[in-house]
Amino acid sequence: MNKIEEIKSIIKTKILVERLELDDITPDEIDDTEALFGDGLGLDSVEALDVISGIEEEFGVKMQGLSEEETHEIFSCVNTLSNFIHEQLSQTV
């Protein structure tokens, strides 16, 4: 499993399903390009904060200082979120 796939797996399993307690969906059912908010998974702003906390805990990646536009782009789906995390981790190595 490459690093991006590993990050996606952690996002889906540990953050989206376990942390947010999304009992009605499994990690395998979450599409990498499915919107996290709105018509996709339908997450709300409280859950968004929980996702941010999860990312900071799981990956040690800080999410502060992002513009609203950057935040919307990064959090649009699992793909964009995992790519952002991968880039951040690559810079610290």
35-71 tens-digit pLDDT: 999 889 999 989 999 999 999 999 999 888 889 899 9
pTM: 0.92
- Domain assignments of the chain as residue spans, ordered by start: 3-92
Q: How far is CA 49 from the centre of its chain?
A: 11
71-85 tens-digit pLDDT: 999 999 999 999 999
Which CATH number is 3-92 given?
A: 1.10.1200.10
Classify 42 in phi/psi space as left (phi over 0), alpha (psi -120 to 50) or beta: left
Q: Residue 7: which H helix or E strand, with range?
A: helix 3-10
